[in-house]
Amino acid sequence: MTTLLDIRNLSAVFPGRRRREPVRALSGLTLTLERGESLSVIGESGSGKTTLMRCILGHVLPSEGSITLFGQDTASADGPEMTALRRRCAMVSQDPYGSLPPTLTVLEAAMEPWLLVRGKHDEKEGEERARNLLGELGLRDEAILSSRVRLSLSGGQRQRVAIARALILDPELLLCDEPTSMQDASTRGEIIEILAKRQRSGMSMIFVTHDLFLARKAAPRGIVLHKGTVVEEGFCRDILSAPKHPYTRALVAALPRLGKLPGQESCKPETN
Amino acid sequence: MIDIRNLSVTYGRMTSEGRGSQAAAVKNVSMTIRKGQFSALAGESGSGKSTVLMAIPGLLPPGTAVSGEILLDGKNLLALPENDLNRIRWRRIAIVPQGAMNSFTPVLTVGHHVEEVLSVHLGLSRKEALERIPSLFDLAGLDGELARRYPNELSGGQKQRAAIALALACSPDYLLCDEPTTALDVITQQGIIATLKNLVEKKGLGLLLISHDLPLAASVADRLHILKDGELVEEGDPAEITARPRNPHTRALVKALLDLEEGS
């Protein structure tokens, strides 16, 4: 196996606004990802998971430490080199309202990355790919494909358009930031399955979520981020069944589970 | 008891072409909310959950066609004039609307919001209102000192608790909460749910929780209702529904969730 991503001792500090203290979003984070491997990043708001994604893509510069992406140190990559690295990755951002071009139709939005990278002459193939992807994601209706993103698209539908955009260029590394937060339970499973199919054919994925169950479904291995540091890492199933760190234990205990309702077992949600 | 009988709600709406059209949001829903009971209404987005909630205190937009009955201790709220409804809102039935934590006026302290409600609805003076705030905040699980802070100085969880304190201002018998824990971390979420449960068990409030999160709703409610496309498809004890869902939609939903939990 070759190493796809190697992060060493990464810290990201944002200067404090006005007279506030600087914000340490990440500190001393180390992780490696082999080609074809996937990782879940479990963390709640403020844990630093989004900053981690942005650091990988070079949108946030590390204050300390190094990131090696596809064998190249991102700190030493110049503009065109960084662009080339980014093109081998794709990101599904947390907010499907802010991350999609509002004036394009659904089909155009899904095709856009393809056209930008491949140019106009490959338009036909781009459209075909976009249609296939959107169809796979449950957006087949011609009326939806030709309607503008800004109008009449639910949050869940927007997220699916964002996923289609991310997959259209066959990325080697997919960064997903809570990509299914607005989906209904049944659709969520289908989307994870689509992503799993891509993983089986060689795509690596970093899947950021606050949902431990989803993390386990998305990738076997996971890290738990809390206030910018990795508090636990290992197989997601072990993190769920035997959490070690006090924070992870609290997180696991707070998960509402349909399989453990008060009436079924003596497992009432703890109050603390 | 709030007894909802055959409630149907149809919104009048304009299409993008400017023509009027009708959208049935809630169809023939019957359910009860009892004092001392924790009821939950779960369903996907767009299933009509919020419409049911807003129909109870008569807060649906003008031009909405509502039929059926909503009986509060036998009195039909749908037939009451606005003035009478105003005496029921806050004092008998209070709501924590969706996104309440983000709808505080930024230039007023959190406590000021509570004072305003007490002054408008109960005619209390500022001094009397201020005396009540610590106990109200305490009920919602908040330090009374936070009343002096501005909304942006509170965390999301604290703001949500402040919204609950606000709803409790006039000591209502029923509290209707629309997605009160959405967008909050699970640990914070669990604390707020525990506070709501406490209001039911210790204060005897009748509570309706609306949530798209079925495991959350099922884990806390005494009685669970599931809404799908405006219709009530399942109703009963949460453990019973989870073990033996009758409706195909609920069955698929429960299966998807249990599969995710079990990791298969």
Residue type, B21: S
Identify which has the larger pLDDT, B182 or A47.
Answer: A47
Please give the Cα distance from A182 to A173 (Å, whole number). Answer: 23
A54 is written with which tokens?
A: 């942005």
Q: Work out the mean pLDDT of chain B and round it to a whole number.
A: 92
Residue A245 pLDDT class (50, 70, 90 cuts): very high
Q: Tell me the mean pLDDT in the region A243-249.
A: 96
Above 60 in pLDDT, residue A268?
Answer: no
A81 is written with which tokens?
A: 């080199």
Interface test with A, best of B184, B219, B258 (most A CBs within 10 A): B219
Q: Tell me the mean pLDDT in the region B171-195.
A: 92
Q: Please give the backbone phi and psi of residue B123, each rounded to the nearest 5 degrees, phi first.
A: 65, 25
A220 is written with which tokens?
A: 């076997």
Residue type, B167: A
What SS3 state is found at B231?
Answer: strand
Task: Provide the CA A199 distance to its chain's centre, in angstroms.
Answer: 14
**Cα four-point dihedral sign A93, B98, B180, B10:** negative
Listing DSSP states for chain A in one string gives --EEEEEEEEEEEEPPSTTPPPEEEEEEEEEEEETT-EEEEE--TTSSHHHHHHHHTTSS--SEEEEEETTEETTT--HHHHHHHHHTEEEE-S-TTTSS-TTSBHHHHHHHHHHHHH-GGGHHHHHHHHHHHHHHTT---HHHHTSBSSSS--HHHHHHHHHHHHHTT--SEEEEESTTTTS-HHHHHHHHHHHHHHHHTT-EEEEEES-HHHHHHH-SEEEEEETTEEEEEEEHHHHHHS--SHHHHHHHHH---GGG-TTTSS-PPP--
A69 is written with which tokens?
A: 């992406």
A164 is written with which tokens?
A: 């289609």
Predicted confidence at residue A53, as pLDDT, reads: 93
Residue A266 pLDDT class (50, 70, 90 cuts): very low
Q: What angle do CA B92, B8, B11 make, to 5 degrees?
A: 95
ipTM value: 0.78
Task: Provide the CA B102 distance to its chain's centre, in angstroms.
Answer: 15
**What is the helix (H) or strand (E) element at residue B85, kind and residue range?**
helix B82-88
Residues of B in contact with A156 (CB under 8 A): 45
Q: Please give the backbone phi and psi of residue A175, each rounded to the nearest 5 degrees, phi first.
A: -105, 120
Residues 28-57 (A) with a CB less than 8 A from some CB of B: 44-45
Residue A44 pLDDT class (50, 70, 90 cuts): confident
Give pLDDT tens digits for A1-31. Answer: 689 999 999 999 998 777 678 888 999 999 9
Q: Considering only A175-189, B65-79, B133-147, B213-227, which range has the smallest mean pLDDT?
A: A175-189
Predicted confidence at residue B13, as pLDDT, reads: 61
- For chain B, report the end-to-end CA distance as a whole number of angstroms: 42
Predicted confidence at residue A102, as pLDDT, reads: 84
Q: Which residue of B has its CA nearest to A44?
A: B185
Give pLDDT tens digits for A110-156. Answer: 999 999 999 888 899 999 999 999 999 999 989 889 988 877 688 88
Determine, for residues B238 and A263 on separate chains, whether the beta-carbon distance falls below 8 Å: yes
Alpha-carbon distance B249 to nearest alpha carbon in chain A (angstroms): 10
Of B27, B46, B52, B236, which Cα lies nearest the Cα of B254?
B236
Q: Which residue of B has its CA nearest to A263?
A: B239
Strands A173-177 and A89-92 come out as parallel
Nearest to A254 among B189, B238, B259 (CB): B189
Above 60 in pLDDT, residue B210?
Answer: yes
Contact (CB, 8 A) for A29 and A230: yes
Predicted confidence at residue A259, as pLDDT, reads: 85
Q: In what order do the strands lie in the sheet with A204-209?
A: A89-92, A173-177, A204-209, A38-42, A221-226, A229-235
Give pLDDT tens digits for A74-117. Answer: 999 999 999 999 999 999 988 888 888 888 999 999 999 999 99
Q: Please give the backbone phi and psi of residue B138, each rounded to the nearest 5 degrees, phi first.
A: -60, -45
A180 is written with which tokens?
A: 């299914």
Residue A267 pLDDT class (50, 70, 90 cuts): very low
Task: Provide the CA B83 distance to its chain's centre, in angstroms.
Answer: 22
Interface test with B, best of A258, A265, A271, A272 (most B CBs within 10 A): A258
Please give the Cα distance from A159 to A219 (Å, whole number). Answer: 20
Chain B positions touching chain A (beta carbons under 8 Å): 16, 44-46, 156, 185-187, 189-191, 193-194, 197-198, 212-216, 218-220, 237-240, 242-243, 252-254, 256-263
User: Other CB atoms closer than 10 Å to residue A272's CB: what's the count?
Assistant: 10
Please give the Cα distance from A69 to A81 (Å, whole number). Answer: 11
What SS3 state is found at B49?
Answer: helix
Q: Work out the mean pLDDT of chain A and round it to a whole number.
A: 89
What SS3 state is found at B262?
Answer: helix
